[in-house]
Structure 1
Amino acid sequence: MGPFWTALAVAFAGGVALAVQSPINSALGRALNDTILATIVSFVGGLVVLALVVFARGSLPNAAMFRSVQPWMITGGALGAFYVWSALWSVPRLGVLTMIAALILGQLLASLMVDQFGLFGIPVREIAWQRIVAVVLVGAGVVFSRF
Structure 2
Amino acid sequence: MTAQYLTALALVAIGGACIATQAVVNGRLSTHVGDPVTATAISFIVAAILLSVIVVARGTVPSAAALSTVPWWAWIGGALGAFYVFSTVASVGTLGVLTLMAALIFGQVLTALILDAVGAFGLQVRDISWTRILAVVMVAGGLLLSRV
Aligned to 2:108: 107
Answering whether residue 126 of structure 2 is matched by residue 95 of structure 1, we say: no
- Any unmatched runs of 5+ in structure 2? none
Distance in 2 of aligned mates of 1:9 and 1:67: 34
SS in 2 for 1:123: coil
Distance in 2 of aligned mates of 1:59 and 1:43: 20
Aligned to 2:23: 22
Distance in 2 of aligned mates of 1:8 and 1:114: 21
Aligned to 2:51: 50
Aligned to 1:4: 5
Kindly tell me: are residues 136 and 61 of structure 1, through their superposed partners in 2, closer, same or farther at Cα, counting changes over 3 Å? same
1:2 positional shift: 2.4
Distance in 1 of aligned mates of 2:79 and 2:27: 19
1:34 positional shift: 0.5
Aligned residues: 147
SS in 1 for 2:70: coil
Answering whether residue 134 of structure 2 is matched by residue 136 of structure 1, we say: no
1:67 positional shift: 1.9
Distance in 1 of aligned mates of 2:53 and 2:41: 18
**Residue-by-residue CA offset, 1:77-136 (whole Å, 9 max, x unaligned):** 110000000011110000000000000000000000111111011111111211111111
Kindly tell me: are residues 59 and 103 of structure 1, through their superposed partners in 2, closer, same or farther at Cα, counting changes over 3 Å? closer
SS in 2 for 1:18: helix
Aligned to 1:116: 117
Identity across matched positions, percent = 46
Letter in structure 2 aligned against 1:70: P
